[in-house]
Chains A and B, each alone.
Chain A
Amino acid sequence: MRREQSITKTVDKMTVAIYVILVLMGCLAVYCASYDFDNHTLLSGLVDWNQRACKQLVWAGVGGFLAVMVLLVNARIFDVFAYLFYGAILALLIVTIFIAPDIKGSHSWLVLGPVSFQPAELAKAATALAVAKCMSQYEFRLEGIISYVRVCILFMLPMVLIILQNETGSALVYMSFFLVLYRKGMPGVLLYLAVVAVTLFVLTFKFANVYIQDGETGNLGLLLSQMAIVASMFGFLIVMYKNMEMVGLCAKVLLGTVVVARLVNFFITVDYTWFGYAYILFFAVYAIIMSIRKLKKSFLLLALFAAGSVVFCLSGDYLFDNVLQPHQQSRINVLLGVEDDPTGAGYNVNQSKIAIGSGGFFGKGFLKGTQTKLDYVPEQTTDFIFCTVGEEFGFLGCMTVIGLFLLLMWRLVVIAERQTESFNQVYCYSVVSIIFFHFMINIGMVIGIMPVIGIPLPFFSYGGSSLWGFTLLLFILLRLDASRLER
């Protein structure tokens, strides 16, 4: 049974409404951010092709056209041609590396006469389709290393290609597919481990140069990391193994270690971290003994985790110094507050915080902002567009935008959950994850919580490629959702 229904009836109107509001707000923000105090007739910015607001309006128009086109095609196309799209886009990404001109070190823009275009923005939609296709194949289950490798290769390939284009920020977006994997059955412990890894990294570096007492008794960063490791191990014991007997013993030993460490340091100076290592070693050995005694392999994982974490902390320095590039090291240092350099690497974030902070609760008012318009904030129409919102529309404006994004993501999760086709559901979650990643990184960066990773704010940031990329992403989702009732 196949019911033909008009797309205007079946499309999810709420999502379309949020999309339209966000895009219009984006145009307004771009208009504000690029407003020139010297040529200040209200309309001049909108009809002058040299003005970004005008261009953005045109891009939005083209985006609307694209959206309609997507809604009008047969939904099966996306399923059937998913790999074809994916292959084509990979080819385009490879070509781009070689033919794209060097723009600030990045080779990601294809220049066709007056128009520049970034294929990486389209790659998100194609990759989402490919991942959805892969994971919806008959008998596919996220079990065993092979299935993970298959899916990971699909989104790692474009990631690598984009890194080769020197667009690390855009490449990181593909990490968001892990959230899709999580929804489709990836063990939660992996997500947990990722969080632990980030925490350890932050602690180790943030407090690397802080010493507990007179520079003699140990490095606070390492000690805090050890505490985090121990806390995670307790977490595992309680949540996953549910073994309260072991928890009790380990807690007693922990208390004993702390007391001994303190007492010893009254008499002779001994680095606290040595006690930390000793305790972690005890924990690991105890886990191995328990695994042998109870014939339970999974306790070995705990020992493995302890060893891995210690190695991770100790090698963090090495990785940081040798793997990351200097500007990336510097960004991380500034973010963690290790380096304080308001005119250097911290300049952008410092200025964007000033712009947002100066907005106050109600903002300075439409076109009354100065920090963004006078170019204090860099990239004020693209990556730092949220500054304009913060400066001119204040806390209210910011919360409106954050609220709209939250509403959109909630709505997309609702849509994802009502899909009957696995392909559709995976695709929906891919879209949610990608939008969430952009939202989290972009706004987090602008308000000084996340490191500076240059990725745009969906629907807001100036630029045709980005807007069209997200439009395609979203409207393919809506098209698939609409087709849910067609059969």
Chain B
Amino acid sequence: MAVENDRYIGRKTTILLIMAIIAFCYMLQLLNLQIFSSNYKEVAENQGFLHKTKYPARGLIYDRNGKLLVYNKPAYDVMVVMREVEPFDSLDFCRAVNVSIEDLRKMFSDIKHSVGYSRYTPQLLISQLSIEEYAVLQEKLFKFPGFYIQDRTLREYTYPCAAHALGSVGEVSQRDIDSDAYYRRGDYAGKNGVEKFYEKELRGEKGVEILLRDVHGRLKGSYRDGELDVAPVSGKNIRISIDIDLQQYAEGLMVNKIGSIVAIEPESGEILSLVSSPSFNPSDLVGRQRGKNFHRLMADPLKPLLDRPMMARYPPGSTFKPLQALILQKEGIITPSTLYPCHNGFVFGGLRVGCHGHSSPLDMRHAIQTSCNGYFCWGYKALLDRKKYGTIQATFESWKQDVVSFGFGYKTGVDFPNENRGYIPNAGVYDKVYGVKGWKGLTIISNAIGQGEIITTPLQLANYCCAIANRGWWITPHIAKEIEGGSIDPKYHEKHITNVPFQYFESVIDGMEMSVTGGTSRVAGMDSIVVCAKTGTAQNPHGKDHSIFMCFAPRENPKIVIAVFVENGGFGATWAGPIASLMLEKYLNGKVPDRKKYLEERLYHANLIESAASAYKRSDASKQKNQKKP
């Protein structure tokens, strides 16, 4: 039948209109999906890509002579993407990675409650499997969808020493993550020492590999043939100024003693040796045993984790006297030939500062040689009671500035993250205690001989000795010697000039040399090298005095400065002196002469820990008592 006089011809338009309306609606929905909704792209990224972090190798650390100290060994982290985990044989898994089922449950719940948790991204489940554990797990990994292995590196140490100087590497804390966008949960960063201070240089740059992941979580190769991948950049290697042989020798000498040693090359400010005793093996703080060992060390009453050279606070005792001699000369109170009397001490009014037997009266050189308390008390009193600056406050401030110019009282700026500033009081402190008019030279006479309120760190003492060795200047101590492809901070090349001019030094150094040749420091004497030294004995309210010794050698063009603190060691010459002496021999001559072998023997067998331990107990007890007081 043919089509004829069609009444419904207009419906053609209706039909076309319906089609157009539908197409238009679809266009609107496509606009909505493809142009106005932004989150689809993100969801697609999360689903289709696995951003696998490629960790760079951490920079290696060498000693000043190029000996390798710290390197990397492979370790394997188990990562989990929760979205992809299917029910699995947890017992089998536990056996493979050697954890208990309870621990595994705890790990999963920890992950879920951690900040930044996402079901879509890999989360750290177990860190640092050894290569053996990894091998076992790798075999079975196909049974555990959602679990991945992340290659990591761990620190490995060639020498079991220098733990405090090198520092350690640990998992980043939430604070690290918040303060530096570079870090993600489960990353590692230096926690102290060189590892922390030079973290940015050592860590390198993480890379990323973009892998395609299908709906079943299977990896389907790299995206665009790795075009967008970023290769990791290895960390920079660092040569530190530590002489590892000297370091190891020094640590041996400090066994069973509490204290610190700082050795510096005065000309450059480079730290040659940095001993904190008691110490530990740096390998203890690596890998999965890190947490356990860390807690053990934390709980140790002798505080092995305390970085004593940087943080311990001691009165400098008699080692402070050369500085006093310098300032008194500079202020015109004394000349090297000025004589003061001392008959077993300084007696003035009702006050008495004891001394030991020596000839009297004596000049400055002999006062240093014999470590005469009386001489410096007379000098200090004369300085403070003089009216040149008007008030005692002004005089004291001037003296303080001179002391500070030797690196005391403020942080030296050493390249360590945890330096203590020590303490040199200002006049205001005494004003507060005694009233503005209530004090004079005699009131604070203990400062004359490095007691009283004067506090130094071992590092500051060594640095001050450098200033003497250099006759009036010092370079901020530092441990970094060379950074591969970079340079160390220029501030470590700057000379700090002391307030005491060059010409006053030689006479003081004479005194220090005489101390070695015929005074308190005789133990440090060397056969062919002129050694200058000063002993110190710091009074300690909790027990036996601390034994202190500082020295430099040779007298001309000094190569090394050593400062030694032995807690509860008694006189400076008893323990600290022999240790410094042996180190001088070792560093300058390469070996210890036979006539000093007995010192080595004595040191190796000495155990000062027990007396020190009881002192620590007393100190802790008094702290608690103090805390109870409001």
| Genuine A/B complex | yes
Known contacts A183-B15, A360-B34, A406-B19; is A376 also within 8 Å of B27 by CB?
no
Residue of A nearest to B30 (CB): A398
Q: Which of A398, A444, A448 has the most CB of B within 10 A?
A: A398
Partner of A357, one of B33, B212, B220, B224: B33
- Whether A394 contacts B1 by the Cβ 8 Å rule is no
Q: How many A residues are at the interface, by size bracket?
A: 35 or more
- Whether A358 contacts B41 by the Cβ 8 Å rule is yes
Whether B8 sits at the interface, judged by CB under 8 Å, is yes
- Whether A354 contacts B34 by the Cβ 8 Å rule is no
Whether B11 sits at the interface, judged by CB under 8 Å, is yes
Partner of A394, one of B20, B34, B212, B221: B34
- Whether A421 contacts B2 by the Cβ 8 Å rule is yes
Cα distance, A199 to B30, chains bound together (Å): 23
Whether A54 sits at the interface, judged by CB under 8 Å, is no
Cα distance, A357 to B9, chains bound together (Å): 40
Cα distance, A140 to B4, chains bound together (Å): 13
- One digit per residue, 1 when the CB lies within 8 angstroms of any chain B CB and 0 when it does not, for chain A 351-380 equals 001111111110000001011011110000
Partner of A374, one of B2, B3, B212: B212
Partner of A354, one of B15, B23, B27, B47: B47
Of the 9-residue stretches A8-16, A56-64, A235-243, A409-417, which lies at the interface with chain B?
A409-417
What residues of chain A have their CB less than 8 Å away from a CB belonging to chain B? Answer: 36-38, 136-140, 179, 182-185, 188, 353-361, 368, 370-371, 373-376, 390, 394-395, 398-399, 402, 405-406, 409-410, 413, 416-417, 419-423, 425, 432, 436, 439-440, 443-444, 447-449
Partner of A183, one of B11, B31, B33, B45: B11
Cα distance, A390 to B29, chains bound together (Å): 12
Chain A nearest CB: distance from B392 CB in Å?
79
- Whether B8 contacts A449 by the Cβ 8 Å rule is no
Tell me the residues in window 1-53 of chain B with beta carbons closer than 8 Å to chain A beta carbons: 1-3, 7-9, 11-12, 14-16, 19-20, 22-23, 25-27, 29-31, 33-35, 37, 39-41, 43-45, 47-49
Known contacts A358-B41, A422-B3; is A449 also within 8 Å of B29 by CB?
yes
Cα distance, A177 to B151, chains bound together (Å): 63
CB-CB under 8 A from B1, the residues of chain A are 136-140, 421-423
29 A–B contacts, CB within 8 A, in A order: A37-B220, A38-B220, A139-B1, A140-B1, A182-B15, A185-B8, A355-B44, A356-B30, A356-B40, A357-B34, A357-B41, A357-B44, A358-B41, A359-B34, A360-B41, A370-B49, A373-B212, A375-B216, A376-B48, A376-B214, A390-B34, A398-B34, A406-B19, A406-B20, A406-B23, A421-B3, A436-B19, A440-B22, A448-B29
- Whether A360 contacts B35 by the Cβ 8 Å rule is yes
Cα distance, A373 to B48, chains bound together (Å): 9
Known contacts A138-B1, A370-B48, A447-B26; is A395 also within 8 Å of B31 by CB?
yes
Chain A nearest CB: distance from B9 CB in Å?
8
What residues of chain B have their CB less than 8 Å away from a CB belonging to chain A? Answer: 1-3, 7-9, 11-12, 14-16, 19-20, 22-23, 25-27, 29-31, 33-35, 37, 39-41, 43-45, 47-49, 212-216, 220-221, 223-224
Cα distance, A272 to B30, chains bound together (Å): 38
Chain B nearest CB: distance from A344 CB in Å?
15
Cα distance, A114 to B497, chains bound together (Å): 94
Cα distance, A439 to B19, chains bound together (Å): 10
Interface pairs A-B: 6 shortest CB-CB:
A357-B40, A370-B48, A358-B44, A374-B214, A357-B33, A375-B215
CB-CB under 8 A from A410, the residues of chain B are 16, 19
Cα distance, A447 to B33, chains bound together (Å): 8
Q: Which of B16, B20, B30, B220 has the most CB of A within 10 A?
A: B30
Chain A nearest CB: distance from B296 CB in Å?
47
- Whether A374 contacts B8 by the Cβ 8 Å rule is no
Cα distance, A358 to B422, chains bound together (Å): 61
Interface Cβ pair total, 8 Å cutoff: 135
Cα distance, A459 to B626, chains bound together (Å): 89
CB-CB under 8 A from A37, the residues of chain B are 212, 220-221
Residue of B nearest to A390 (CB): B34
Chain A nearest CB: distance from B149 CB in Å?
21
CB-CB under 8 A from B25, the residues of chain A are 449
CB-CB under 8 A from A422, the residues of chain B are 1-3
- Whether B44 contacts A370 by the Cβ 8 Å rule is yes
Cα distance, A432 to B16, chains bound together (Å): 10
- Whether A183 contacts B215 by the Cβ 8 Å rule is no
Partner of A417, one of B12, B33, B212: B12
Residue of B nearest to A180 (CB): B15
- Whether B15 contacts A356 by the Cβ 8 Å rule is no
CB-CB under 8 A from A183, the residues of chain B are 8, 11-12, 15
Cα distance, A390 to B27, chains bound together (Å): 12
Chain A nearest CB: distance from B8 CB in Å?
5
CB-CB under 8 A from B22, the residues of chain A are 436, 439-440, 444
Cα distance, A360 to B30, chains bound together (Å): 9
Chain B nearest CB: distance from A378 CB in Å?
9
Partner of B15, one of A390, A413, A444: A413
Chain B nearest CB: distance from A417 CB in Å?
6
CB-CB under 8 A from A140, the residues of chain B are 1
